[in-house]
Structure 1
Amino acid sequence: MHTIEIQKEPVELYKILKFEGMTSTGGEAKLLIGDGQVTVNGETETRRRRKMMNGDVIGFRGDQFHLQLSTHTETI
């Protein structure tokens, strides 16, 4: 299982696929999600804008990706 660190929650599902390089574009991510090729927490997910939270697990192309909220804080 791979870990994806997110900076805030919630994050839309298609954005994670796009920004983590799992798909080339957001449009491609939306098509794959709509086709039922992505799972969230073990269940097929077809909502492109599904709100993803810390601890959720994405299944995509045979791999599992665990979302983990970043503990890093910025100081200015």
Structure 2
Amino acid sequence: MIQFKLEGEFIPLIQLLKASGLVGSGGDAQTVVEDGLVKTNGEVEFRKRYKVRVGDIITFGENKIEII
């Protein structure tokens, strides 16, 4: 599991995927979200601008990101 330290109140989902190194670009991040390949707290998330906050768990493939 990847632990991501949040600086501020939230980070948009596509920015998180890029910042954590799970995708190569913002375009790739948008595509995987639109295709329903990303889950937030166990639910498929289609909103690219979803505000990820402390305590959220993001799942993409075999990767999990815990927001701390």
Q: What TM-score results when the alignment is normalised by the length of structure 2?
A: 0.94
* CA shift for structure 1 position 2: 2.2
For residues 1-76 of structure 1, what are the structure 2 equivalents within 5 Å? 1-68=1-68
* Aligned counterparts of 2:67 and 2:18: Cα–Cα separation in 1: 15
* CA shift for structure 1 position 48: 0.3
Percent of pairs with identical residues: 34
Q: What TM-score results when the alignment is normalised by the length of structure 1?
A: 0.84
After TM superposition, where is structure 1 displaced by more than 3 Å over at least 4 residues in a row? none
- Where does the alignment leave 5 or more consecutive residues of structure 1 unmatched? 69-76
Secondary structure at 2:30 match in 1: helix
* Aligned counterparts of 1:4 and 1:11: Cα–Cα separation in 2: 11
* Aligned counterparts of 1:24 and 1:9: Cα–Cα separation in 2: 24
Q: Which of the pair has more CA radius of gyration?
A: 1
